[in-house]
């Protein structure tokens, strides 16, 4: 069974968030299953990975985007070093950028990616068994292979659309239809939602099946999906919730080269303390106090807007009996507020930016990881923290409620239901209540590290779905 994953991100080539981690791991684990050949197709980026590895040009052609003729090159990494065949689509001017997102002409960029991939597959007569599309950036593929004349060779290929984040749907005005490969115009309704082309809605309508990255999130989409609630209800018959796993080759505290002190379940307490002492020293924190951490994008979906108030209130209310460390970036109001508190409170440390190495060190050093998300389709941070013996404190939503059980019901994490500062502080107080109980902490650390989040089970579930 030949599967092509289409995605704008893939770890370690280009990562903005969890999408990259999933696309960098899932195909590798799928390839361990007999009879499966999973590959990844992504845009070409000006990233160190592409300069440090050798590629063959396997296709060189042209597409038309409106009045513009664009060159399309497909480059294949020579050695399959990531555990799968990696193809990168290069289109000068659109798919040769430094980063996946943040450009004014994103709609052109993602249309060009989808068009370029399908043009290449059709021209070379490559007919996969499954095209697996990730998020809205590839959401028009299921429509295109059925209704664009240029891709008639691919008609009937089965498609899976995975929703990693339904907050982003890629809506664009109907004028953009002029920049798509020509399609059966009477089928326009399959792309439309409320007068716009909505790639995520189109993916749900046209894909053979669609998935969300947890069962909990799928259930939430019925009531909160930025206007697509009724659509997901209508199409529920082909919806599946499959939880993400984590790449245990990359996220293994025993071998992780990004850690100062590696550890396993037997020596976790002592080694975690050493990691924490080093990190605290570097950031001027107090290693004898509990360390709460947050890692992530400063976006409202992550509840990052609560963080400034959480910082000052928790430090004040505990009379300075805790440390907080935050790594991330995003909304500038939040960044500025946190910078101010970084200056004011010695118990608080802030590192603004995207730092893969530091994130690993924090997962290994912290006592508690905060995830006050309003929306969390799956969430990987809680799983990484658990693997690294750090107790997750999470809002009970989406994938967080599927993966973190509260200590009061026999689990090894802390949950709260309402997204707000009071509830976060209350949850942190519960954490402070157990921090000094050595045996309790030890049991929780063990229980978290013992959790099985490996990709094997979920990779099997996707294969079963493909076969179905």
**Interface with ligand ADP (CB under 6 A):** 17-19, 21, 295-297, 327-328, 354-356, 359, 378-381
Residue nearest ligand GLC (C-beta atom) = 18
- Residue from 43, 379, 392, 419 binding ligand GLC (CB under 6 A): 379
Please choose which of ligand GLC, ligand ADP, none residue 355 contacts, taking the beta carbon within 5 to 8 angstroms, the exact cut-off set by kind: ligand ADP
Q: How far is the CB of 280 from ligand GLC (least distance, A)?
A: 28
- The number of CA neighbours under 13 Å toward the Cβ of 250 is 23
Name the residue nearer to ligand GLC (CB basis): 27 or 379. 379
With vertex at residue 300, the alpha carbon angle to CA 221 and CA 211, rounded to the nearest 5 degrees, is 30
Q: Which helix (H) or strand (E) holds 60?
A: strand 55-65
| 371 interacts with ligand GLC by CB under 6 A | no
Query: 157's torsion region: left (phi>0), alpha (psi -120 to 50) or beta?
Result: beta
Q: What is the dihedral of CA 274, 279, 283, 284, to 10 degrees?
A: -10
Between CA 407 and CA 413, with CA 410 as vertex, the angle to 5 degrees is 35
Q: Which of 400, 410, 403 is nearest to 443 (CA)?
A: 410
Residue 361 contacts residue 385 (beta carbons within 8 Å): no
Contact 41, 5 (CB under 8 A): yes
Which DSSP helix (H) or strand (E) runs through 274? helix 268-283
Length of the chain measured in residues = 468
| Binding track, positions 174-213, relative to ligand GLC; x by CB under 6 A | ---------------------------------------x
Through-space distance between the first and last CA atoms of the chain, rounded to whole angstroms: 12
Binds 72, which of ligand GLC, ligand ADP, none (CB < 5 to 8 A, cut-off by type)? none
Applying CB under 6 A, among 150, 220, 247, 376 the residue interacting with ligand GLC is 376
DSSP letter (8 states) at residue 181: P
Cα gap 197→97, rounded to integer Å:
25
CA-wise closest residue to 401 among 423, 373, 434, 430: 373
Q: What is the DSSP letter of 118?
A: H
List binders of ligand GLC among 77-106 (CB under 6 A): none
| Shortest spacing between CB 381 and ligand ADP, in angstroms | 4
Give least dist CB 40 to ligand ADP, A.
Answer: 17
Q: Applying CB under 6 A, does 394 fall inside the site for ligand GLC?
A: no
Question: Contacting ligand GLC (CB under 6 A), which of 14, 22, 40, 412?
Answer: 22
Q: Which does 354 bind (CB under 5 to 8 A by kind): ligand ADP, ligand GLC, none?
A: ligand ADP
- Concatenating the DSSP letter of every residue in 342-367 gives HHH-TTEEEEES--HHHHHHHHHH-S
Minimum CB separation of residue 335 from ligand GLC in Å reads 20
Q: What angle do the packed helices 268-283 and 438-450 form, to 10 degrees? A: 100
Give me the least distance between CB of 400 and ligand GLC, in Å please. 9
By the 8 A CB rule, do 180 and 202 touch? no
- Examine residue 378 and tell whether it contacts ligand GLC (CB under 6 A): yes
Between 389 and 399, CB nearer to ligand GLC: 399
Rounded to a whole number of angstroms, the minimum distance from the CB of residue 297 to ligand GLC is 9
**How many residues make contact with ligand GLC (CB under 6 A)?**
14
Site for ligand GLC in 238-257 (CB under 6 A): 244
Which of ligand ADP, ligand GLC, none binds 381 (CB below 5-8 Å, type-dependent)?
ligand ADP
- Work out what residue 213 binds among ligand ADP, ligand GLC, none; the CB cut-off runs from 5 to 8 Å by kind: ligand GLC
| One residue of 180, 380, 431, 447 binding ligand GLC per CB under 6 A | 380
Which of the stretches 33-41, 81-89, 124-132, 376-384 binds ligand GLC when contact is defined by CB under 6 A?
Answer: 376-384
Listed residue (113, 170, 160) closest to 136, CA to CA = 170
In sequence order, which residues have a C-beta less than 8 Å from that of residue 208 and are 6 or more positions away? 142, 158, 159, 160, 238
Which residue, 17 or 116, has its beta carbon nearer to ligand ADP? 17
We find the least distance from the C-beta atom of residue 4 to ligand GLC, in angstroms, to be 18
Task: Out of 7, 65, 165, 448, name the contact with ligand GLC by CB under 6 A.
Answer: 165
List residues near ligand GLC by CB under 6 A: 17-19, 22, 164-165, 213, 244, 376-380, 399
């Amino acid at each position: 069974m030949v599967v092509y994953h289409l995605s704008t991100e893939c770890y370690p080539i280009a990562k903005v968030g969890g999408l990259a981690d999933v696309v960098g791991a899932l195909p590798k684990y799928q390839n361990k299953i007999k009879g499966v050949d999973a590959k990844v197709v992504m845009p070409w980026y000006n990233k160190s990975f592409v300069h440090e590895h050798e590629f063959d040009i396997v296709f060189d052609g042209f597409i038309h985007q409106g009045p513009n003729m664009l060159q399309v090159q497909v480059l294949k990494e020579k050695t399959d070093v990531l555990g799968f065949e990696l193809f990168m689509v290069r289109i000068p001017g659109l798919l040769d950028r430094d980063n996946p997102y943040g450009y004014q002409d994103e709609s052109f960029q993602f249309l060009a990616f989808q068009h370029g991939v399908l043009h290449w597959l059709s021209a070379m007569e490559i007919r996969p068994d499954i095209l697996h599309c990730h998020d809205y950036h590839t959401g028009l593929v299921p429509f295109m292979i059925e209704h664009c004349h240029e891709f008639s060779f691919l008609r009937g290929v089965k498609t899976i659309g995975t929703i990693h984040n339904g907050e982003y749907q890629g809506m664009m005005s109907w004028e953009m239809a002029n920049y798509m490969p020509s399609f059966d115009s009477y089928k326009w309704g399959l792309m439309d939602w409320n007068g716009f082309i909505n790639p995520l809605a189109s993916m749900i309508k046209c894909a053979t099946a669609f998935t969300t990255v947890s069962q909990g999130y799928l259930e939430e989409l019925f009531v909160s999906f930025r206007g697509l609630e009724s659509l997901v209800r209508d199409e529920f018959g082909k919806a599946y919730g499959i939880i993400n796993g984590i790449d245990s080759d990359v996220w293994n505290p025993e071998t992780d080269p990004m850690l100062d002190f590696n550890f396993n379940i037997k020596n976790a307490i002592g080694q975690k303390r050493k990691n924490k002492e080093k990190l605290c020293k570097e950031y001027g924190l107090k290693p004898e106090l509990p360390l709460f951490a947050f890692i992530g994008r400063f976006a409202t979906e992550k509840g990052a807007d609560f963080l400034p108030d959480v910082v000052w209130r928790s430090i004040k209310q505990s009379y300075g009996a805790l440390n907080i460390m935050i790594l991330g970036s995003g909304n500038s109001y939040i960044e500025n507020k946190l910078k101010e508190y970084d200056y004011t409170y010695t118990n608080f440390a802030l590192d603004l930016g995207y730092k893969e190495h530091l994130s690993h060190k924090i997962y290994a050093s912290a006592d508690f990881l905060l995830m006050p998300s309003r929306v969390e389709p799956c969430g990987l941070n809680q799983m990484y923290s658990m693997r690294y013996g750090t107790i997750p404190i999470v809002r009970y939503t989406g994938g967080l409620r599927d993966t973190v059980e509260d200590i009061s019901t026999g689990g090894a994490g802390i949950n709260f239901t309402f997204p707000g500062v009071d509830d976060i502080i209350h949850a942190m107080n519960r954490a402070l209540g157990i921090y000094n109980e050595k045996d309790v902490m030890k049991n929780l650390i063990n229980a978290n590290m013992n959790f099985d989040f490996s990709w094997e089970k979920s990779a099997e579930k996707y294969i079963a779905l493909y076969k179905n």
